[in-house]
Amino acid sequence: MPRKRRVGVAVADARHKTVSVRVERTVRHPLYKKIMRRRKRYLAHDELNDCRNGDRVVIEECRPLSKRKSWRVVEILERREVAEIQPQEIGAPSLEAAASTGDAGAAAGNEGSE
């Protein structure tokens, strides 16, 4: 019997060699016939620690590797695109500009002294 495969999005990669993958599927309600989205999160083994949040991945069933981890990452289909934008491009004040105007306490989040 072939192993089950699912396509999903990596939603958490904080654990070492483990990634949490959200898999979506659509089902039709038996009575009302409305199409609904069902989501499930799987813990999958990522041997190379290569997955990042937002990546579309293929996971495959495997032997139990831990209490909740019985899937492994087979391949990364596409990477999440990260915007290469600087704070100056969107009009946000930089910390250096705030320090030069004497407003360094407000830039750091501290209130003025009494």
Domains of the chain: 5-78 (2.40.50.140)
Q: How confident is the model at residue 82 (pLDDT cuts 50, 70, 90)?
A: confident
Q: How far apart are alpha carbons 57 and 109 in whole angstroms?
A: 39
Beta carbons within 10 angstroms of residue 73's beta carbon: 22
Closest alpha carbon to 73 in 7, 2, 12, 1: 7
Q: Where are the alpha helices (DSSP H) in the chain?
A: 95-100, 104-108
pLDDT at 114: 55
3-class DSSP state for residue 25?
strand
pLDDT at 12: 95
pLDDT digits (tens, 9 = 90+) for 91-112: 767 666 666 776 555 555 555 5
The overall longest dimension of the chain from CA atoms, in Å, is 73
Q: Are 42 and 6 in contact (CB under 8 A)?
A: yes
pTM across the whole model? 0.70
pLDDT at 102: 65
pLDDT digits (tens, 9 = 90+) for 53-80: 999 999 999 999 999 999 999 999 999 8
